[in-house]
Amino acid sequence: VAVVGLGYVGLPLAMAATEGGFNVVGLDIDAQKVAMLNAAQSYIQHVSDDQLAKFVAQKKFFATTAFSAIRDVDAVLICVPTPLTRHREPDLSYVVSTVECIAQHLRPGQLIVLESTTYPGTTRDIVRPLLERTA
């Protein structure tokens, strides 16, 4: 499993997947966050250093900035921010740029899940067409 976006949603989700027995690669564009996680240092209140250290030591979790790691997973969970615009609509720029990066490394049969908070139809109308462009 890959979790893209290791913030207050993505990192706890990555830990839950790891607790569930999955090997997890965490992807984030922030190299400092990646380095902290690989050193078993959590910056999220709901994820302890001890929990993180256990999975890092067992090689059940590692973090990276390299989207090429997506080639080796069966499922990709997108957990990037969708801040509200001044018109109170979700800004999908993070979702779009993330999907464009993911699309470069996909292989047939992978599951892509959008976990980011947005309006109904985003996966069908925005994400799917971006992914299909590379198929």
CA distances from 130 to 28, 115, 116, 122 (A): 20, 16, 16, 11
C-beta separation of 26 from 99 below 8 A = no
pTM across the whole model? 0.94
Q: List strand residue ranges (DSSP E) for 8-80, in order.
A: 24-27, 61-64, 75-78
- d(CA 83, CA 17) in angstroms, rounded, equals 25
In this prediction, residue 64 has a pLDDT band, given cuts at 50, 70 and 90, of: very high
- Domain definitions of the chain by residue range: 2-132
Of 63-67, 74-78, 81-85, the least confident? 81-85
In this prediction, residue 135 has a pLDDT band, given cuts at 50, 70 and 90, of: low
**Per-residue confidence (pLDDT) for residue 133, from 0 to 100:** 86
2-132 belongs to CATH 3.40.50.2300: no
